[in-house]
Amino acid sequence: MNAADVEKARFEAQRTIDAGKTLASRRALGQFATPPGLAAEIAAETAPFLSWSRGTAPVSMLEPSAGTGAFVSAFLSHPEIRVESVEAVECDPAFHDAGKRLWRGFPCRYRLADFTRLAPDRLHDLVVANPPYVRHHG
C-alpha cells in the first residue's frame, strides 16, 4: 500500500475515533486533528528548507503528537522529501493503535507515550507537530 492509499484509510480512522469521543473529552485533551490539506501545505513549505540544508539526503522526522499521522502522511508522500525514518509519539491508545497499524511497512515507529515526558529515540533533522491545544480560562 502506498502513502496515498494509507491516507484514505487514515482519514477514515480519524473520523471513526473522533466520532467515538465527546467534544468535551476532545477539548479537554486538545485533540483536534490537523487537516490533511494543511499538513500537505506545511510539507510543501518545508521541502525547500530541507533541500537547502540537506541536499537530497534523507531526513529523520519526529512527530511528538502524531494522532493517526496527518504529518506522517504529508511528509512521506511529498515528492521532494526523502524521509528516512519517523518517530511518531501519541499518548491516546486509540490514535496510537490506529497510527501504528496504518503506517506499518513504512519507516515509521509509533510510541505510546506523552511527548512532554519522553526523550526522543535519537536526534532528528525535523520536528513537525500540531501540539494539543487546551484553552484555560481563569
> For the chain, what is the largest distance between any 2 Cα atoms, rounded to a whole number of angstroms?
49
Taking the C-alpha atoms of residue 93 and residue 61, their distance in angstroms, rounded to an integer, is 21
What is the Cα–Cα distance from 93 to 48, expressed in whole angstroms? 34
Higher pLDDT, 135 or 14: 14
Percent of the chain exceeding pLDDT 90 equals 59
Checking if the pLDDT of 111 tops 70, the result is yes
Contact 70, 34 (CB under 8 A): yes
Q: Is 138 exposed, middle or buried (0-12, 13-18, 19+ CB in 10 A)?
A: exposed
Scanning the chain, the segments in alpha helix (DSSP H) are 3-19, 23-29, 36-54, 70-77, 93-102
First to last CA, the chain: 48
Q: Amino acid identity of 2?
A: N
- pLDDT-based confidence at 128, cuts 50/70/90? very high
Task: Give residue 137's pLDDT.
Answer: 47
| pLDDT tens figures, 23-79 | 888 877 777 889 999 999 999 999 988 876 666 678 999 999 999 999 999 999 999
pLDDT of residue 74: 94
Q: What is the pLDDT of residue 17?
A: 93
Residue 5: burial class (beta carbons within 10 Å; 0-12, 13-18, 19+): exposed
What does the alpha-carbon distance between residue 38 and residue 70 come to, in Å, rounded to a whole number?
Answer: 9
